[in-house]
């Protein structure tokens, strides 16, 4: 798991990332100011419009980095408070992401070419359980948001209407509303941010898409980012490794082996990761 920025001190890493984001925001704001000044002195209407468009791009980028800085600063503060605590789990970066979305429960999933989850980061147990259900059942908001490259929302009975398996199961977790927005940049969709039971004032707003954009541009697809979100991301590599082993044992396609693992996990009410661990240790043989 990555700690971010190559430092063994996660608080220092978060502070350093926050400072870098603030610096980038200031640079982009300065560039926007310059283009607006040039627009005022442009000799032609075309030239004025070009500079105004460039200014808008720079201001949008500045806002993105400012939002990223706030997330890192919030994480650094929570880490500093946790450092002196005992018997307390380390804070999760996703907790701050959830708060920015007006909820306690949010999850981020990265997907592969077939839209299966490659990794998962969650803010709390309900959101983690909800994303595990989506992985096991092969249906749900994040899968639709990534495959359709658009925001997906369902409330109340619409959960079951839209997802016959996932809907009832997630309702049993006490969740009544879900919204998922794709993590996209330059036409590439790499995952989704799913928000559970958000505050009413944020429903239908641009907040979720803005937070997803910040994560995509500064953490997920940025060479200097941290897709593992300070070590808070669970990779599905072990599950796929176990699927390969089952495939060999049963002489079946890997995709079928993966479905067997998911079905076993759902039946047992456990995670696919837990089932995969038992398979790899030789404690469980499917088929």
| Digit-coded pLDDT (tens) for 75-104 | 999 999 887 777 888 899 999 999 999 999
Look at residue 5 in the predicted model and tell me its pLDDT: 42
CA distance 96 to 98: 5
Query: Which residue has tokens 């076993």?
Result: 264
CA distance 66 to 227: 19
CA 209 to chain centre: 12
Residues 6+ apart with CB under 8 A from 132: 120, 265, 271, 272
Q: Judge whether 127 and 107 are in contact, CB under 8 Å.
A: yes
Look at residue 6 in the predicted model and tell me its pLDDT: 43
Residue 53 has pLDDT above 70, yes or no: yes
204 pLDDT band (50/70/90 cuts)?
low
Angle (deg, nearest 10), helices 125-137 and 272-280: 70
Look at residue 199 in the predicted model and tell me its pLDDT: 83
Q: Which residues pair with 196 in a beta bridge?
A: 105, 178
CA distance 100 to 11: 20
Look at residue 86 in the predicted model and tell me its pLDDT: 75
234-235 and 177-185 beta bridge pairing: unpaired
The 10s digit of each residue's pLDDT in 208-257 is 999 999 999 999 988 888 888 998 888 888 888 888 999 998 888 888 88
Query: Which residue has tokens 């799913």?
Result: 194
Q: What is the mean pLDDT of residues 276-281?
A: 89
């Amino acid at each position: 798991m990555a700690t971010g920025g190559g430092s063994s001190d996660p608080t220092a890493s978060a502070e350093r990332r926050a400072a870098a984001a603030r610096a980038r925001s200031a640079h982009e704001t300065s560039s926007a100011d310059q283009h607006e000044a040039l627009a005022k002195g442009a000799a032609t209407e075309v030239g004025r419009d070009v500079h105004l468009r460039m200014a808008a791009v720079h201001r949008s980028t500045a806002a993105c980095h400012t939002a990223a800085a706030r997330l890192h600063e919030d994480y650094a503060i929570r880490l500093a408070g946790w450092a002196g605590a005992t018997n307390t789990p380390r804070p999760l970066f996703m907790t701050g992401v959830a708060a920015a979305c007006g909820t306690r429960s949010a999850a981020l999933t990265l997907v592969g070419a077939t839209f299966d989850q490659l990794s998962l980061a969650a803010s709390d147990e309900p959101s983690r359980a909800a994303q595990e259900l989506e992985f096991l059942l092969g249906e749900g908001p994040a899968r639709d948001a990534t495959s359709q490259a658009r925001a997906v929302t369902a409330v109340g009975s619409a959960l079951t209407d839209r997802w016959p398996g996932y809907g009832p199961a997630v309702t049993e977790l006490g969740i009544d509303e879900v919204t998922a927005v794709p993590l996209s940049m330059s036409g590439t969709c790499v995952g989704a941010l799913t928000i559970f039971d958000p505050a009413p004032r944020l429903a239908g707003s641009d907040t979720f898409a803005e937070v997803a954009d910040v994560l995509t541009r500064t953490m997920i697809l940025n060479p200097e980012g941290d897709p593992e979100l300070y070590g808070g991301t669970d990779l599905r590599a072990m599950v796929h490794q176990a699927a390969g082993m089952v495939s060999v044992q049963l002489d079946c396609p890997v995709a079928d082996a993966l479905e067997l693992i998911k079905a076993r996990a759902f039946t047992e009410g456990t995670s696919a990761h837990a089932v995969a661990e038992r398979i790899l240790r030789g404690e469980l043989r499917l088929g």
